[in-house]
Amino acid sequence: MKKKMVCYIVMAALMLSLLVGCSSEKISDSTPESVAYSSYSDVKIGICIYQLADNFMSLFSNELVSYLVSKGFSRDNIILLGSANNDSVQLSQVEELIAGGAKALIINPVNSSVAHSITDLAASHNIPLVYINREPSGDEENRWESYQLDVCYVVCDARQSGIYQGELLLTLGNKALDRNGDGKIQYFMIEGAPENIDAGYRTLYSVSTLKNADLQLDCLLDEVGNWDCATAQLIVRKGIKEGLIPEVIICNNDAMALGAIEAVEQAGLKPGEDVYVVGVDALPEAIEMVQEGKLLGTVYNDYVLQSHLAADAAINYLQGNGNEHYIGCDYVKVNRDNAQDIIDAINNKK
């Protein structure tokens, strides 16, 4: 019922703006709440993370909270909620945050489709909104532009991370990768989550980078590991037990790469010698594995920069200033040669 009401309000506002021929005006005709604040200590900010147990999102959200505190927000006014990977839970959390007086929202959507309703809720209350990590659909982003909504999205382009995974493997050359010398690279693909844009792009671009370099590929297994270490471990263990022997394991993230490495070792194979594993994120444990030679490489998913950009975007909105609707940042390839530099760079940026 509440959702319907919000829909009606937003639709009415949209129709009004069309009638007066000013589709570029704000979605609501009331004065935006964004006023310049001289201090943020009393300003409430709401954050929803699709699932707090996610290794990467937990690093991201910790950094986001500390950065907001460093910018003058009081820890008590930063409401950080985990959405239990459930979009209706997330939607009611957004309603509660708005009802509780949040002046800005930073949301890691459970999936791209829930973003539409979240945007409706925020826009109808004039609350600025910053999406992080999971991309809302293209139509949704067009709406922010058309109606000049105070909504933006901060992210690294997942295509780049897939390309970098492919390039990390290519540094070894075809001969080293093709351990059994049959002219093809037997590989396992462990994907993040179904219908997740990052997962789709990483899968597609890692493989196409290898194909574009004229490698012959033989996919032995392609399964969804839900971004999770234990699930990936089970998948790889089962695959090897069934007699599938990969030369390469490509994982959409590091948590799953760590699980894959464990399964490879349990099967009596040597990661980094018998099987080459690559991940994405540069989790601290994964960088250690790179230094030990068990993980061939990973791709730094710059959570420090992304969390700072997201907080800065929210602050810009609170100050009455706008943001670009898409705020991007770059991934960085991590191998044994630069692993220590990456650790140092992460620590320096915090």
Which residues sit at the interface with ligand BGC, rule CB under 6 A?
54, 56-57, 133-134, 198, 227, 253, 255, 280-281, 301
Q: Which is nearer to ligand BGC, 147 or 331 (CB)?
A: 331
For residue 155, give the H/E element and its range: strand 151-156
Mind giving me the DSSP string for 289-342?
A: HHHHTSS-BEEE--HHHHHHHHHHHHHHHHTT----SEEEE--EEE-TTTHHHH
Whole-number minimum distance, CB 204 to ligand BGC, in Å? 15
The least distance separating ligand BGC from the CB of residue 50, rounded to whole angstroms, comes to 6
**DSSP H helices in the chain:** 2-19, 55-70, 87-99, 114-124, 138-146, 158-170, 173-177, 197-212, 229-241, 254-266, 284-292, 303-318, 339-349
The pair of structure tokens assigned to 87 is: 């979009």
Nearest to 131 by CA among 146, 179, 147, 113: 113
CB of 280 to ligand BGC, least distance (A): 5
Smallest gap from Cβ 79 to ligand BGC, in A, equals: 20
Nearer to ligand BGC, 276 or 300 (CB): 300
DSSP 113: T
| Nearer to ligand BGC (CB atom), residue 43 or residue 289 | 289
Question: Closest approach of Cβ 145 to ligand BGC, in Å?
Answer: 24
| Least distance to ligand BGC, CB of residue 72, Å | 28
Instruction: Give the residue with the Cβ less far from ligand BGC, 57 or 97.
Output: 57
What is the full DSSP assignment across 16-36?
A: HHHHTT-TTS-SSSSPPS---
CB nearer ligand BGC, residue 58 or residue 208: 58
Closer by beta carbon to ligand BGC, 255 or else 314? 255
State how far Cα 319 lies from the chain centre: 26
